[in-house]
Amino acid sequence: MHDSLGTLIDGWKADPSSTYNTWFLWDQRVKNFRSIRRGIAQVVKDIRAGTFGNAYRGSSLETIVGSVAEQRQIFKGADHAFLWKPKLRIPDIYENASNQRAFADLLHACDHCDCAEDVVSAIQRIDAIGIKGLGPAVANLLYFIHPTLVTPFNTAIVNGFNAVTGGRVKLGRWDHYLSMREGLLRLNEQYRRQLSNDLGAIAGLMFDIGSGRYTAPPAAMDAAAAALWREDLQRVRLESTAMHKELSQAAESDATHTGVQASLRDLGKALGFDVWIASNDRGRVHGTGLLGDGCLAQLPPPAYAGLESVRLIDVVWIDRQTSLVAAAFEVEHTTSIYSGIVRMLDLALGTPVAEQCALFLVAPDNRRDKVAEQLKRPAFSRVSELGIRYLPYSQLELNHASMSRFGSSIKPLLEISQRL
């Protein structure tokens, strides 16, 4: 299987429609880890404070699971396992306070350990309790805490693993999940040079195989089987039209996001501010140059330099006289606002900012109600203190030239934006 699976991995990585290219290498992916981890900590805090409630809807868990479910194809449907099924009364973490606390203990233990043995022990403890309906789908949360120790989990990943290894892993059982995890770790070590120490890569490979996009190589590769398998591999490449359409839409979305960042960059410079572009976006191509051209190479030390979440805010304007943040912008084109809000909270509550610092969510005109609705969630209870404002694309575009020419402060932005 070694040579054939290696061949498959090479073909998979070269396919622009594969999960490897559409999700694992997605430049927005890494921005989600910190915010999701913060959300998991909020779930623990709510449960231990007795404020979590007895319903999934409206809870901090719904917020964070929804954010995970938006991480493109591999996590689509991740929220299903956590939805309350009233006829079955599962998962039993909403009505049973003891089970709810055990769930919090699992999340807390994994969030405060740094070795595989401790993660596995925490999983085994909750497995021993036997909470009805709470199974390995929780691994999709744990992955965002320990991407090198925990593999994501869903039906397609299980099917892919079984197809590649001949295993018989079953859904819904923690012991089977741990067995699959061990098998994936061995495979990942075997093909480490082609994959990554981040287990999202090999999980993505299993996902694409298990969802039928790729055919697992036969265990014994005789000439006829090899020929048929290579035909299947070629078929996958030829049948990617639909996926390419989705990729095109995603690329268009990313281009719009970058365009808005560039617009805010140029406006900030015109108004006399130093500008910071998110550290993972600086190298994006825009126009004839890069998005980070002419911007700060680092945030002013020491207040901001060590805070990773602030470095990931889409656009930050720095007052040249005080070196303090005067304005910060998160561009929310199509994705959840959760990650952006967490970064804004870190900036406003964890660092020194200018006295009149303004925080903006910049989004399409038709997302205003969606943004306002999301901000009402319990997880965002502290957001009202920040005075975050909604800046619609149309107003930014309409007023950009006049503000650049005649403006001298952020006052015009306050006039064309709305407080949320």
Rounded-to-integer distance, Cα 108 and Cα 43, Å: 9
Among 28, 146, 39, residue whose Cα is nearest residue 82: 39
Residue 233, pLDDT above cutoff 50: no
pLDDT of residue 39: 92
pLDDT of residue 302: 63
Residue 241, pLDDT above cutoff 70: no
Q: Are β-strands 315-318 and 274-277 bridged in parallel, bridged antiparallel, or unpaired?
A: antiparallel
Confidence grade of residue 32 (pLDDT, cut at 50, 70, 90): confident
Which has more confidence, 242 or 161? 161
Strand partners, 325: 318, 353
Q: Residue 314 burial by CB count (10 A; 0-12/13-18/19+): exposed, middle or buried? A: buried
Question: To the nearest whole percent, how much of the chain has pLDDT over 70?
Answer: 87
Distances in Å between the Cα of 29 and the Cα atoms of 10, 20, 40, 293, 307 are 22, 12, 17, 23, 18
Among 354, 353, 329, residue whose Cα is nearest residue 340: 329
Residue 85, pLDDT above cutoff 70: yes
Residue 243, pLDDT above cutoff 60: no
Rounded-to-integer distance, Cα 141 and Cα 139, Å: 5
Rounded-to-integer distance, Cα 362 and Cα 256, Å: 12
Q: At what angle do helices 31-49 and 97-111 cross, to 10 degrees?
A: 140
Q: What is the pLDDT of residues 147-195, one digit of tens each?
A: 999 999 999 999 999 898 888 888 988 988 998 998 899 999 999 999 9
HSE-up (13 A, CA, CB side) for residue 316: 30
Residue 120, pLDDT above cutoff 80: yes
Cα torsion angle, 189, 192, 195, 198, sign: positive
Mean pLDDT estimate for the chain: 85
Strand partners, 389: 360, 419
Rounded-to-integer distance, Cα 345 and Cα 333, Å: 20
pLDDT of residue 71: 79
Q: What is the pLDDT of residues 361-390, one digit of tens each?
A: 998 888 788 777 777 776 676 666 778 889
DSSP 136: G
Residue 2, pLDDT above cutoff 60: no
DSSP 20: I
pTM, two decimal places: 0.67
Stretch 398-414: mean pLDDT: 88
- Runs of H (alpha helix) within 173-323: 174-190, 200-210, 223-238, 241-270, 308-311
Stretch 91-117: mean pLDDT: 93
Q: How far is CA 193 from the centre of its chain?
A: 24
Among 279, 1, 37, 50, residue whose Cα is nearest residue 165: 1
| Least confident among 186-200, 237-251, 255-269, 288-302 | 237-251
Whether the CB-CB separation of 396 and 263 falls below 8 Å is answered with yes
Rounded-to-integer distance, Cα 392 and Cα 333, Å: 10
Stretch 328-343: mean pLDDT: 79
pLDDT of residue 1: 47
Stretch 74-83: mean pLDDT: 90
Q: Residue 31 burial by CB count (10 A; 0-12/13-18/19+): exposed, middle or buried? A: buried
Spell out where 250-343 has E strands.
274-277, 285-286, 289-290, 315-318, 325-331
Distances in Å between the Cα of 331 and the Cα atoms of 221, 283, 341, 361, 397 are 50, 17, 11, 6, 14
Whether the CB-CB separation of 271 and 408 falls below 8 Å is answered with yes
Residue 246, pLDDT above cutoff 60: no
Stretch 331-345: mean pLDDT: 77
Q: Three-state SS for 104?
A: helix
pLDDT of residue 311: 87
Which has more confidence, 407 or 242? 407
Which has more confidence, 284 or 206? 206
Q: Are β-strands 389-392 and 353-363 bridged in parallel, bridged antiparallel, or unpaired?
A: parallel
Q: What is the pLDDT of residues 290-304, one digit of tens each?
A: 899 999 998 887 666
